[in-house]
Structure 1
Amino acid sequence: MRILFDQGTPAPLRRWLSAHQVSTAYEQGWSTVTNGDLIRLAEQQGYDLLITTDTNLRYQQNLEDRTIAILVLSTTSWPRIKAAADQVVDVVADLASGDYCELRIP
């Protein structure tokens, strides 16, 4: 699976997703691209999943008819995400094209 991390997603999370091809918006030169355009670009470039920490995404964007799956993490805190990394991996494994999931991280 090709996964794109947005600007708020901690890059070290990619270590837990080593079975996948992970890139960041920064690495793609998309660090200043807004959410709607980022989703569109990711789909055009063949990404299967966008992992974001923007909890307002579903209110800001029309997510119907999207082919990319979207996983929203409830925090940008690396220590908290690291503690829940196995849960993130499990959720990623269950996502299908066009899915939208919000993962509450304690």
Structure 2
Amino acid sequence: MRLLLDENLPKKLKLDFPEHEVFTVRDKGWNGIKNGKLLELMVADDFDALLTFDKNLQYQQNFQKYTLTVFVLNAPANTYAVLTLLSAQVNAALIKGNLLNGPLVIQAE
């Protein structure tokens, strides 16, 4: 699957998804692009999912328009040391497949 890490995530998180094609917003040159436009660019570029730390994104967008899953990483901090603990949950969802369009909150345990 093609995954995009939002600019609010550490780029080192790419290493946690070796089975997938992972890009950062910076890799794509999409820094500073607002969420709605970012989702449109992702669909046009055949991405399957966005990983983000932006908890408001799930309330700000109409996900009926986008064929993407948005993994909202819900943790106390957006550091690699904290977020890597959520990667197993994301990978489990990716392995299952049949991802739904829209937000999927991944909660720290």
**TM-score, structure 2 normalization:** 0.86
CA contact (8 A) 1:3 1:47 kept: yes
Shift of 1:55: 0.3
Aligned positions of 1:20-99 closer than 5 A: 20-75=20-75, 76-95=78-97, 96-99=99-102
Does residue 86 of structure 2 align to residue 103 of structure 1?
Answer: no
Percent identical among aligned pairs is: 28
Unmatched segments (≥5 aa) in structure 1:
none
Distance in 1, matches of 2:13 and 2:83, equals 8
Q: Deviations over 1:47-105 (max 9, x none)?
A: 01111111000111111232111111014222111233222321332352524201112
Paired AA for residue 58 in structure 1: Q
Q: Deviations over 1:16-51 (max 9, x none)?
A: 211000001111110110111101100111001111
Paired AA for residue 106 in structure 2: L
Distance in 2, matches of 1:13 and 1:38, equals 19
In the alignment of these two chains, the number of paired residues is 106
Paired AA for residue 52 in structure 2: T
CA contact (8 A) 2:73 2:86 kept: no
Paired AA for residue 108 in structure 2: I
Paired AA for residue 101 in structure 2: G
Q: Which has the higher helix share?
A: 2
**TM-score, structure 1 normalization:** 0.88
CA contact (8 A) 1:54 1:72 kept: yes
* Consecutive aligned runs of 4 or more in structure 1 exceeding 3 Å deviation: none
